[in-house]
Structure 1
C-alpha cells in the first residue's frame, strides 16, 4: 500500500490509513500465515512507506548516561583551571596528537582513532526529567503541558522511536527495529522518567523494552562488581541481571495450523508472564517480532549474555555495563537496527557528591572497559563502519566543585545544561576528531555550539533518513523528523 502523493520528492513516512480493527486483522493474518507476503502487508498497515536511501550507518547503539557525565572528569578536562574547577583527576594522552582525556579512561585513550568528540553540546535545562526529555528526543523546547513526574502522550517521540519508525523499511527480518535495555529509567521515588517512549506518535511506535536489571532505589552503577550508593545509605543490593528468556513449549508444531494457533495462545500466556520484563502493550503490532524473538537462536544467544563465552565476558566485564553492551552488540548483529543502552538506572551519573571516588572506582572503569570491547568487536568484524555508537547524558556538570554537606561526605558537581561532551564512533564518523570548544573553565561553548536538534539530526543523517522525512499522525498532519542540521564536521 503506497501513501498519498506529497509535494516533496524525497521519501515520506506515513501513518496507517487502516482502522485499528483492520490493522489487528492484518496482524492476525500475518501470525497465522507466517508468510513474507503477509508480513509485507502488515508493515504497510503500520504505515511504512517508500524505501529509505542507503546511509553509511546501518545500525545504531545509543549509550545513555542517566544523571549527567561530568565533562571535566571525562572528555574535556581543564588542567590549567583553578583547583575548584579542574578537580582531582589528571589528563592522559590519547593516540591522537594533542587530544587528552581522563586518566581513568585508559582503554578508550588507546583507541582514539576509532572515535570523535563534540565538546560543545548545549541546552537550557538543569533539571533531570526535562534534560532526559530534551536529549532522548532531540528537542530543546519542552512540549506544552510537560510533566517532569510522568511520561505523557503529549511528549515528543524519542530518538529510538523515531529511528525505529523511519528505518522499518530497511529491516530485513521480523525483529523489533528499536530496543531499549537493560532497564527503563525510573527515579528513586518510583516515577518513570519522561522522554523514553514514542510520545505523540502513539504507543504502537514505542521501542521494545528489555528489562534485565531490576529496579533498586538507592543502588547505582555496574552491579554486582561496581554497585554503589551516592549517599552511602547502606541498603543492600541483591539484584540479578537476567533478561527474559522466551521459549517454545515442548512439542509445539510450527508447521501445522493448529501449531500456529497454539503458538499464538502460548505467546499470549508468555506476554502476561513476562509483563514485568518488557513493555508489551503494543503486542498486536509486534506479533511477528515476538515470533522471531521466540524462534531465532541468535536472539536467545543475544539475551543470554551472562552465560556468554568466557573470553567475551572477560573483555566486556561481568557486570551490568558489560552485559548490557555485549547484549547490544549481539542484538545489532542479529538484525536489530537501534539499541539504546542505559548504563545505570536513573541518576547513576548524578555525581553531586562523593564524585571522585565513585567515578574513579565505580563508574569510569566498567564504562571504559565495556565501550572499548564493543569498539574492538565491531572493528574486528568489519561492522564498525556501518554501526554508529553515541554516548551522552541529559546534561553535563557544573564547572565549579561544591560540597552538599547535608547529603555527602565529599564534594562533587551539580547539574549543568549549558555544556556536555558527547562521544561518537563508527557509522562514517571520522576518528580522532574534536568538534566544538568550551571556555577555560568548561562552562559554555565558545566554538561551534551544538543543540540537541543537531545531535538527533546527526544520528538520522548517518542512518540515511532523508532531511525531508516526516511521519503523519491519525489526522494526516505531517511532523518533520529533522529539526536541525547534522554535525557535518564529524564525518
Structure 2
C-alpha cells in the first residue's frame, strides 16, 4: 500500500533528478528519427526501483478494450426468449461450436468459434464510465484512495499494462507493454483514469503509440465506419492513421549511425530540454530502445501497417480498427509482451441510443473482420497458443431497452456493471467454450461469477508472471499484483 502522510492521505513516490550525463546519453533519441510526440512515450519506459523476475517462458497478451461498454444481450449473450423490451432487435446465429450462439452481425467470428471462448459472468459494482475504466484496466474493483473520475491520479492503482511493462522481461530491446492507437479521452478532452501506472510512478507508464488523432465529435473506425451517436450534422475530418517515424535522419547512414560520437555535436538543444523537463532516470534504456526500433527491420515493419500488402489490409479492414489489430499482431510477433488496443475512443461503444443501427452498421462489421483476421494470422503462424486475446469494456448494458428522445432517434441501453461478457482466445484457453451464465434477461450472473481481479490474474498468468511476483517502490516496499485467482474453466 502507498505511504500515508499525517492526514492519512497517500503520498506520491519521489524519484531522483536526471543527471546531465544521463541526459546527454539520452539526447540522441530525438535525433534517431522519433518524433517528439513519441519521445514522451519512450521516456516513460525508464522504471525506477526493482522488479521481480518473470517466469522464463515469454508469453504475450493482446487486451482489446471497448471503451463505452458493449451490451452483452446484443453480442455474445443474446436472450431470444426474453420480452421484446429486453431481447432487442438482433437475432442469434449458430457458431461452429454446437450449442453456442452469438449475434447475427458477427458471422466471421461465429465461423471461428473453435478458437475462442466466452466468459458470460464477469461482474463489478460500478455503472460509472471513469470508475469502470479504472476497474477493468487495473483489475481492481475497489476504487483507490483519492480517486478522481475526471483525470488520472498519482494514487490510482497501476494499470494492467503498466504492471506488464514493469514485471515482464523486455525482448529484442522492445518495450514490454504498449498501448495503441491512442489514449482514452472523453469528448470533453479529459483523459480517462486507469490507463497509467498510478502509484508506481510516471516512469512506469506504458508506452503509448498515438497513431490516431483525437476528434471529440467522432466515434468508431474511421474513415469507413466513423459515426456520431446522436447523428448530428457534421463534416467528418480527414484523419490519418500515423505510427512513429522510424527512419534515420537524413545524412545518418548505417555506417555513420554506428559511430555514436558523431551525434554529440547535435545534442545541445535537446540536452537543455531534457535538463528542464526529464523526470526519470535510466534514460540509457530510451536510447537502446530507439536504436533497436531503427535498426531492426521487424520493428519498423510492425509499425508501418499502412504499407502492408493490400490483401492483408483488406482482410483486416481499411480502418482504424483493422490497422490497430494488425499493428498489435506485428508487435507481438516482434517481441512486445502486452499490447492494449483501444477499439474506439471517446467512449465509442456507449450506445444509449440508436444502438441497434450503430452496432449493426458501424461497430460490429469492422470488429468482426479485424478480430477474425487476427485470429487467423496468429493461428497460422503458430502464435495463438502463446498469445492470449482478451476483449472487454468497462461494463455491460442494461437488460431493459431505454429511450432518450431528446438526444437519440431510437432506443439503446444504459450502463450496467453487474455483468458483461468477456471474449477470450488463445494463450492456452480452450476454444468453443462458455464459462458462467446469466439470468433470463442477461442482467446478473447465475453461475460462476468472476471479478476484474480474476481477469487480471488470468492475464498475468498468461504472461508467465508468478503469483508471488511484486514490484518495489522507491522506498523498497513490495507491492503484490495478484488479487484474485485465474479464471477456472478457460484453460
The TM-score range, normalised by the shorter chain, is 0.7 to 0.9
- Structure 2 distance, partners of 1:188, 1:282, is 34
Q: Deviations over 1:361-395 (max 9, x none)?
A: 00001000000000000000011001111000000
| 1:488 shift after superposition | 2.1
Give the match for residue 55 of structure 2.
Answer: 53
| 1:164 shift after superposition | 1.1
Structure 2 alignment gaps of length 5 or more: 1-12, 30-44
- Structure 1 distance, partners of 2:160, 2:340, is 9
Give the match for residue 472 of structure 2.
Answer: 472
- Structure 1 distance, partners of 2:214, 2:46, is 37
Give the match for residue 255 of structure 1.
Answer: 258
5 Å-filtered alignment, 1:330-345, equals: 330-345=330-345
| 1:333 shift after superposition | 1.1
Residues 155 and 195, structure 1, Cα contact 8 Å, conserved in 2: yes
| 1:467 shift after superposition | 0.8
Give the match for residue 5 of structure 1.
Answer: none
- Structure 2 distance, partners of 1:309, 1:408, is 40
Give the match for residue 99 of structure 2.
Answer: 98
- Structure 2 distance, partners of 1:280, 1:304, is 30
Give the match for residue 39 of structure 1.
Answer: none
- Structure 1 distance, partners of 2:311, 2:279, is 34
Instruction: Give 3-state SS (helix, strand or coil) of 1:63's partner.
Output: strand
Residues 17 and 47, structure 1, Cα contact 8 Å, conserved in 2: no
Give the match for residue 87 of structure 2.
Answer: 86
Residues 208 and 280, structure 1, Cα contact 8 Å, conserved in 2: no
Pick which of 261-270 and 319-328 moved more.
261-270
Instruction: Give 3-state SS (helix, strand or coil) of 1:67's partner.
Output: coil
Residues 23 and 46, structure 1, Cα contact 8 Å, conserved in 2: no
| 1:259 shift after superposition | 2.9
- Structure 2 distance, partners of 1:479, 1:381, is 37
Instruction: Give 3-state SS (helix, strand or coil) of 1:291's partner.
Output: helix
Normalised to the residue count of structure 2, the TM-score between the two structures is 0.87
With over 3 angstroms needed to count, the CA separation of the structure-2 counterparts of 1:196 and 1:143, relative to structure 1, is same
Q: Structure 1 residue aligned with 2:25, among 28, 35, 40?
A: 28
- Structure 1 distance, partners of 2:209, 2:199, is 22
Give the match for residue 12 of structure 1.
Answer: none
5 Å-filtered alignment, 1:104-119, equals: 104-119=105-120
Structure 1 alignment gaps of length 5 or more: 1-15, 33-42
| 1:283 shift after superposition | 9.0
| 1:146 shift after superposition | 0.6
Instruction: Give 3-state SS (helix, strand or coil) of 1:61's partner.
Output: strand
Instruction: Give 3-state SS (helix, strand or coil) of 1:117's partner.
Output: strand
Give the match for residue 208 of structure 2.
Answer: 209
| 1:249 shift after superposition | 1.3
With over 3 angstroms needed to count, the CA separation of the structure-2 counterparts of 1:62 and 1:281, relative to structure 1, is farther
- Structure 1 distance, partners of 2:282, 2:349, is 33
Instruction: Give 3-state SS (helix, strand or coil) of 2:222's partner.
Output: coil
Residues 30 and 288, structure 1, Cα contact 8 Å, conserved in 2: no
Give the match for residue 38 of structure 1.
Answer: none
Give the match for residue 437 of structure 2.
Answer: 437
| 1:463 shift after superposition | 1.5
Instruction: Give 3-state SS (helix, strand or coil) of 2:292's partner.
Output: helix
5 Å-filtered alignment, 1:27-426, equals: 28=25, 46-47=48-49, 49=51, 51-54=53-56, 58-168=59-169, 171-238=170-237, 239-252=239-252, 253-261=256-264, 284=283, 286-426=286-426
Normalised to the residue count of structure 1, the TM-score between the two structures is 0.87
- Structure 1 distance, partners of 2:24, 2:56, is 28
| 1:54 shift after superposition | 3.8
Instruction: Give 3-state SS (helix, strand or coil) of 1:286's partner.
Output: helix
With over 3 angstroms needed to count, the CA separation of the structure-2 counterparts of 1:408 and 1:112, relative to structure 1, is same
With over 3 angstroms needed to count, the CA separation of the structure-2 counterparts of 1:105 and 1:282, relative to structure 1, is farther
With over 3 angstroms needed to count, the CA separation of the structure-2 counterparts of 1:317 and 1:458, relative to structure 1, is same
With over 3 angstroms needed to count, the CA separation of the structure-2 counterparts of 1:24 and 1:332, relative to structure 1, is farther
Give the match for residue 6 of structure 1.
Answer: none
- Structure 2 distance, partners of 1:337, 1:261, is 33
- What is the CA RMSD across the aligned residues, in angstroms? 2.8
| 1:247 shift after superposition | 2.1
Instruction: Give 3-state SS (helix, strand or coil) of 2:489's partner.
Output: helix
| 1:18 shift after superposition | 9.7
With over 3 angstroms needed to count, the CA separation of the structure-2 counterparts of 1:268 and 1:318, relative to structure 1, is farther
With over 3 angstroms needed to count, the CA separation of the structure-2 counterparts of 1:290 and 1:440, relative to structure 1, is same
Instruction: Give 3-state SS (helix, strand or coil) of 2:117's partner.
Output: strand
Residues 47 and 203, structure 2, Cα contact 8 Å, conserved in 1: no
Pick which of 235-244 and 326-335 moved more.
235-244
| 1:244 shift after superposition | 2.6
